[in-house]
A and B are shown apart, each in its own frame.
Chain A
Amino acid sequence: MLNASDLGALYLTFKVASIATLLLLLLGTPLAWWLARTRSHWKGVINAVVALPLVLPPTVLGFYLLVLMGPAGVVGKFTSSLGFGTLPFTFTGLIVASVLYSLPFVVQPLQAAFTSIGEQPLEAAATLRAGPLDTFFSVVVPLAKPGFLTAGILGFTHTVGEFGVVLMVGGNIPDRTRVVSVQIYNHVEALEYTQAHWLAGILVLFSFSVLLVLYTVLKTQPVAHPLK
C-alpha cells in the first residue's frame, strides 16, 4: 500500500497542480484574449512561443530553467538581488516550471473559445454601452465557459503528469519537490514495483476519470488547437 512518502508526493503534486492552474488561468486569460483579438504582426511569434512546450522535450525546458534560474543565470541573479535566493530545488521554482510547461494547455483552449465567440456579441454589448471590462465579464466569460473548463482541466492534469522538467529542476526533495511522477520513477529504479504499481494505478484512474468528464459530460472535442 501507500507509505507516508507516497502520500506526501500525492499531496505535493495536487498542491503544485492547483496553484499552477490558478496562476495559469489568471495569466493565460489576458494572453489568450489578446491572441484571439489582435491583428499584430507579433501574433504568429507569440503563438509559436506559447506552443513551444508542446513540442520541446521537457529536458530542454528543464535544462534551460536550471541554468537560467541558477546563481549564474539571468533569472537567478534577478531573484537573488530581490532577496529570494535561487529557485531550483524550491516549491516556488516548481510552480514557475509548471506554469511554463502547461502554458499551451491553458492558453490554446481559451484562445479557441474566445475566437469562436466572434464579433457580433461584442458589438451588441458595445451598442448597449457596456465598457470593455463589463463586456468581458458579462458576455465573454459566460460564452467561453466550456473553454475555461477545458483549460483548467487540461492545465491541471498536464501539471500532474509532468516529469522531465521536475526531475531537472526539483532535486527530488521529499515533501518539497518530489512529485508523484518522480516518486514512481524512484520506486521503479529501486525495484519497488508494488509501490510503483499503486501510485501509477492511482494516476491512471485519476487522469482517465478527469478526461472522461471532459469528453463526455462537457462534450469537448479532443483536438482544439487554434494554431491558425
Chain B
Amino acid sequence: MLSGRFFRPLIAAWLVSLAPTLSAATTLAAVASDFTKPMNEIAIEFQKATGHEAKLSFGSSGKAFAQIQSGAPFDVYLSASEKYPLELEKSGHAVPDSHFIYAIGKLVLWSATPDYVDGQGEILKTGTFKHIALADPSHAPYGVVAEQVMESLGVLDKLRPLFVMGENISQTYQFVSTGNAELGFVGLAQVIDVNSGKIGSGSGWIIPDNLHSPFRQMAVLLRTGAENPAALALVDFLKSPTALAIIEKYGFGLPK
C-alpha cells in the first residue's frame, strides 16, 4: 500500500523526534506581570539546565488568584504579594507550606521625559502634572505600595484626583511610557537597563524601602502541579544561584 509505505517512515521519524521530550515535562506558571522580564529569562535558563519547559501566563496577581480558585490549570503561581499564595494554601488550592519569597519588589517613580523626576521625589510635592499613573490599589500590590509612599510623603489626598489607574503594572507602565501620564509608579524591572543597573530611559526615583511596608513577592506550588516533575523543578530552580542572579539583575531585592 502506497500510503503505508510513505507514511511509516514519517511516523517513525516523528516518534524519534518526540523521544527526548518524553522525559522532559512541561509546566504552566501564572506570573505577576511585574516579573515578566526576569521570568522570561529564568524560563530559558530553566530549560537549558533541566530540559523541562515552563510555559508562562502573565497578568495581575488578583486575576490569577481568582482563576486558580476556579480551577485554572496552573502548576506554579508567582504572585506580587504575600496575601494570595497564603490564601490559596488555606483554601487547599496550593500544597501546604510550599510558599516561599522569590523576590523583593522595588518601586520607581518614573517619567518618560528625561530630567522630569528628581532624585528625591520632590516633584510629588511641587509638580504641576495633570496625571499620575499607578496600578489599581483595589487589587494590584504595586498600587497598594504606591499609595503607602504617597501617604508617607503626605501628598496622597492632594494627588488622588490626578490618579489614572492601570489594571496591572504593565498597563501602568504603558500609560507613562506613551507620555499620556507625565509620571507614575512602576516596577524597577520595567525601566532598568540591565547592563548598567540604572534606569534606562526617561527619569526616575527609586523609592526607598522605608516609605512603604516590605514588598515581599511570594510564590507557591499549586495542587495541580504537586505531581509534575517540571513544576517541582521550577520551584527549586527559582531558588538557584542562576535564577537569583537574574532576579537581582532586573532590580529586585533578594529574599533574605
Please give me the residue from chain B that is nearest to A88 by CB atom.
Answer: B180
List which A121-150 residues lie within 8 A (CB) of chain B. Answer: none
Please give me the residue from chain B that is nearest to A89 by CB atom.
Answer: B164
Please give me the residue from chain A that is nearest to B165 by CB atom.
Answer: A172
Cross-chain contact of A86 among B65, B66, B165, B180 (Cβ < 8 A): B180
Interface: A185 (CB within 8 A): yes
Tell me whether B66 and A173 are in contact (CB under 8 A). no
Task: Given the known inter-chain contacts A85-B130, A171-B131, A171-B133, please indicate yes or no for A189 contacting B139, CB distance below 8 A.
Answer: yes
Provide 18 A-B residue pairs closer than 8 Å at the C-beta atoms, listed in order of the A residue.
A66-B174, A66-B180, A67-B178, A70-B180, A71-B180, A86-B180, A88-B180, A89-B131, A89-B180, A171-B131, A171-B133, A171-B166, A173-B164, A189-B60, A189-B136, A189-B139, A190-B62, A190-B138
Which of A88, A167, A185 has the most C-beta atoms of chain B within 10 angstroms of its own C-beta? Answer: A88
Kindly list chain B residues whose C-beta atoms are within 8 Å of the C-beta of A205: none
Kindly list chain B residues whose C-beta atoms are within 8 Å of the C-beta of A212: none
List which B161-201 residues lie within 8 A (CB) of chain A. Answer: 163-167, 171, 174-175, 178-181
Q: How far is the CB of B71 from chain A (nearest CB, A)?
A: 16
In the docked arrangement, what's the CA distance between A71 and B129, Å?
13
Kindly list chain A residues whose C-beta atoms are within 8 Å of the C-beta of B239: none
- What's the count of A-B pairs with C-beta under 8 Å? 62
Interface: B63 (CB within 8 A): yes
Tell me whether B136 and A172 are in contact (CB under 8 A). yes
In the docked arrangement, what's the CA distance between A70 and B163, Å?
17
In the docked arrangement, what's the CA distance between A69 and B178, Å?
10
Please give me the residue from chain B that is nearest to A191 by CB atom.
Answer: B66
Task: Given the known inter-chain contacts A189-B139, A190-B139, please indicate yes or no for A70 contacting B178, CB distance below 8 A.
Answer: yes
In the docked arrangement, what's the CA distance between A69 and B175, Å?
12
Q: How far is the CB of B157 from chain A (nearest CB, A)?
A: 15
Q: How far is the CB of B175 from chain A (nearest CB, A)?
A: 6
Q: Which residues of B contact A (CB under 8 A)?
A: 60, 62-63, 65-66, 130-131, 133, 136, 138-140, 163-167, 171, 174-175, 178-181
In the docked arrangement, what's the CA distance between A88 and B179, Å?
10
Tell me whether A66 and B138 are in contact (CB under 8 A). no
Q: How large is the interface on A (under 10, 10 to 19, 20 to 34, 35 or more residues)?
A: 20 to 34
Q: Mark A40-62, 1 if CB is under 8 A from B, else 0.
A: 00000000000000000000000
Q: How far is the CB of A75 from chain B (nearest CB, A)?
A: 12
In the docked arrangement, what's the CA distance between A168 and B163, Å?
15
Kindly list chain B residues whose C-beta atoms are within 8 Å of the C-beta of A185: 167
Q: Which residues of A contact B (CB under 8 A)?
A: 66-67, 69-72, 85-86, 88-89, 167-168, 171-173, 185-186, 188-191
Closest 8 pairs (CB-CB, A-B): A171-B164, A189-B139, A172-B165, A71-B179, A189-B62, A70-B178, A88-B180, A190-B139
Kindly list chain B residues whose C-beta atoms are within 8 Å of the C-beta of A173: 163-165
Task: Given the known inter-chain contacts A70-B179, A72-B179, A171-B133, please indicate yes or no for A189 contacting B63, CB distance below 8 A.
Answer: yes
Kindly list chain B residues whose C-beta atoms are within 8 Å of the C-beta of A171: 131, 133, 164-166, 175, 180-181
Tell me whether A167 and B178 are in contact (CB under 8 A). no
Please give me the residue from chain A that is nearest to B135 by CB atom.
Answer: A172
Given contacts A189-B139, A191-B66, 17 further A-B contacts (CB under 8 A): A66-B175, A66-B180, A70-B179, A71-B180, A86-B180, A88-B175, A88-B180, A171-B180, A172-B165, A172-B167, A186-B138, A188-B66, A189-B60, A189-B138, A190-B139, A191-B65, A191-B139
Kindly list chain A residues whose C-beta atoms are within 8 Å of the C-beta of B66: 188-189, 191
Task: Given the known inter-chain contacts A85-B130, A189-B60, A189-B139, please indicate yes or no for A72 contacting B178, CB distance below 8 A.
Answer: yes
In the docked arrangement, what's the CA distance between A67 and B131, Å?
16
In the docked arrangement, what's the CA distance between A88 and B167, Å?
15
Tell me whether B178 and A66 are in contact (CB under 8 A). yes
Kindly list chain B residues whose C-beta atoms are within 8 Å of the C-beta of A189: 60, 62-63, 66, 136, 138-140, 167
Kindly list chain B residues whose C-beta atoms are within 8 Å of the C-beta of A168: 171
Q: How far is the CB of B32 from chain A (nearest CB, A)?
A: 13
Tell me whether B164 and A191 are in contact (CB under 8 A). no
Please give me the residue from chain B that is nearest to A188 by CB atom.
Answer: B66
Q: How far is the CB of A172 from chain B (nearest CB, A)?
A: 4
Q: How far is the CB of A69 from chain B (nearest CB, A)?
A: 8
Please give me the residue from chain B that is nearest to A173 by CB atom.
Answer: B164
Tell me whether A186 and B178 are in contact (CB under 8 A). no
Kindly list chain A residues whose C-beta atoms are within 8 Å of the C-beta of B171: 167-168
Cross-chain contact of A186 among B139, B163, B181 (Cβ < 8 A): B139
